[in-house]
Structure 1
Amino acid sequence: MKALQDLEIFVLTSETGSLSAAARRLDLTPAATSAALKRLEAELGAALFVRSTRSLRLTPQGELFLAHCRQALATLGAGRDAIAGGGNLQGTLQLSLPSDLGRHQLLGWLDDFQQRHPGVTLRVQLSDRMADVYRQPVDLAIRYGVPGDSSLIAVPLAADNRRILCAAPAYLQRAGVPQQPDDLRQHNCLCFQLGEQVHQRWQFFRYGVAHSVQVGGNRVSDDGDAVRHWALAGYGIAYKSALDVLPDLHAGRLVALCQPWLGEPAPLHMMCADRRLLNPVVQALRHYLGERLQAFITHYRGGQVATPSTEVHP
């Protein structure tokens, strides 16, 4: 299908920034890839790239068309794989996962998912930065919080998840146990950074009323796994998603603090750019992860969670 190949050439050229690199990936000549792009531009009546002797960059029209191209190729690929697989799940899924939950829970669950569906290929990125599902080669991003971009499709995986204030027993024995959120001003707080913004205003809820506290500390990271590592090592107090720390709380490695106060909502979502990307593979993964998360929460919520009154004697 020449029209389909023209779209693949366009997407690969935009990702590599080079006609020759795209040609090598598709086992074509540079002349053939150049002809395909000219043919596509003629059909659209718009220039897709600004060309110079050293580089290519997308025009505004090219950036707009790129998002639609990726969606179209994903949909066509899913259809082609469904026909080839005779009803079995087939296809490649590109995922962006949060650092902490991804490393310690999701990767193991994805191993099991692939054993159940050997026709599925996964390409995984681990990062707490919000993936640009329009421009990056990512089909789905699993992230905490409500997406700021209202055009994204956000499918809930753990809608009731919240943050939990926690620290290691060793830190609390050394520095004391905060009894209320305002006490955090006298503690070393381990902060998370997203982009250029450091999350230093921590919000709590009690009796339906929100209360914010400006915190500070000597350690900041853009990696949630690093913040959890520091908390376990006794360097300070962390404000983590419950899904990240439930096993540590259950085992007593971390202690939940200021329990009468509820932490900030931190719903876990599966995000994509378009509903047409919710193909059978994605739907199966959504159902599977939803079941695993529910079992995970039920298991750890049903057990004893360490609290200062039972674990710490400052």
Structure 2
Amino acid sequence: MYSTSDLQLFIRTAETGNLSQAARGLELSTATASASLKRLEQKLGTRLFVRSTRSMRLTQDGEIFLEYSRGALTLLKEGEALISADKDTIRGNIRISASSDLGRSVLLPWLNEFQQTHTAITLTLQLSDSNVDLFREPVDMAFRYGKQQDSTLVSQHLIDNRRILVASPTYIQNHPPLLSPRDLASHNCLLYYLKQGLNNTWPFLSGKELIEVKVHGDRMANDGAVVREWALAGLGIAYKSWLDVKQDLDSGKLARLLPNYLGDEVPLNVVYPHRNSASPRVRALLVFLRGKFAKLEESDDSGK
């Protein structure tokens, strides 16, 4: 629907704030560049830039379209890299950072499958829930929940996701039933630390009503995998990412509580240190993982 050259010019103009400079960088005449932007604006039915004699500033619609334009071109590059690269030539090390639960229960089997196909690939997997700088250690990609605040990083959405309440069948059998989130006050809640501190206020959405419950419990950890193990052992109720506990739900080791109350939205994103740092091997892995997440999203019962 959109010309890649038009999108490239739009992105370059947004980055430079100058149409003539963007046109020179793409070896276009100013007239051709102006016509390109006009085509985009006509197709979208909105203005993308506020123009002045010295610069061009993105409108609010332009800011939105910029993010999606960058994502579209990145996806195309990744697809081209996967198609054009011979499996035997995709080689080298890929350094990955992820949270403990996500890495162990979701990514690990997929990474093993990827390496079985691409035998010249080696992987370095860093799993941690500690609140350290995202790229303090050198990595090629990081998988993180929620919106990223660092504008110097490139973030791409992978899958929608929510936190949900879970407990083991043993715990459920031996404790009073939950009829609403407010009943959590009489239960042992398994707590963990987020960047802002101990996560002991759990929000839920019921229709348009926001319910925030202050919870308490006898166990706290800075590692989500530990909280999951406590839940599996029947020691309390956990407020966990749906992705992190999907396998446990499917196997019946954990059960979901209060499915009509929606927890926090925590979409999963893949984050890069720099837009141009993704090598063919990294792009090949991303295309592979996107296919896996797309299939997983089809079975999403988190109530998104």
1:104 Cα deviation from its structure 2 partner: 2.0
The residue that corresponds to 2:291 in the other structure is 291
The residue that corresponds to 1:167 in the other structure is 167
The alignment status of 1:260 with 2:260, answered yes or no, reads: yes
1:58-113 deviation per Cα after TM superposition (whole angstroms, max 9, x unaligned): xxxxxxxxxxxxxxxxxxxxxxxxxx989822232111121012112211111111
1:195 Cα deviation from its structure 2 partner: 5.3
**What number of residue pairs does the alignment pair up?**
219
2:106·2:243 contact (CA, 8 Å) conserved in 1?
A: no
The residue that corresponds to 1:112 in the other structure is 113
The residue that corresponds to 1:31 in the other structure is none
Amino acid at match of 2:111: L
Structure 1 residues 219 and 284, CA gap change in structure 2 (3 angstroms):
same
2:87·2:118 contact (CA, 8 Å) conserved in 1?
A: no
2:132 and 2:282 mapped to 1: Cα distance?
A: 17
**What are the within-5 Å matches in structure 2 for residues 92-241 of structure 1?**
92-130=93-131, 132-158=133-159, 160-194=160-194, 197-241=197-241
The residue that corresponds to 2:51 in the other structure is none
1:99-143 deviation per Cα after TM superposition (whole angstroms, max 9, x unaligned): 012112211111111122222221111112355344322221111
1:181 Cα deviation from its structure 2 partner: 1.0
Structure 1 residues 86 and 270, CA gap change in structure 2 (3 angstroms):
closer
2:280 and 2:167 mapped to 1: Cα distance?
A: 41
Amino acid at match of 1:182: R
Structure 1 unmatched runs, 5+: 1-83, 303-314
Structure 2 unmatched runs, 5+: 1-84
**What are the within-5 Å matches in structure 2 for residues 234-249 of structure 1?**
234-249=234-249
Structure 1 residues 130 and 155, CA gap change in structure 2 (3 angstroms):
farther
The residue that corresponds to 1:69 in the other structure is none
What SS does structure 1 have at the residue aligned with 2:89? coil
1:86 and 1:254 mapped to 2: Cα distance?
A: 39
1:158-215 deviation per Cα after TM superposition (whole angstroms, max 9, x unaligned): 1x21111111121122221211111111111001113571111111112133221111
The residue that corresponds to 1:280 in the other structure is 280
2:105·2:247 contact (CA, 8 Å) conserved in 1?
A: no
1:93·1:123 contact (CA, 8 Å) conserved in 2?
A: yes
What SS does structure 1 have at the residue aligned with 2:174? helix
Identity of aligned residues (%): 42
1:277 and 1:154 mapped to 2: Cα distance?
A: 13
2:134 and 2:231 mapped to 1: Cα distance?
A: 32
- TM-align CA RMSD: 2.5
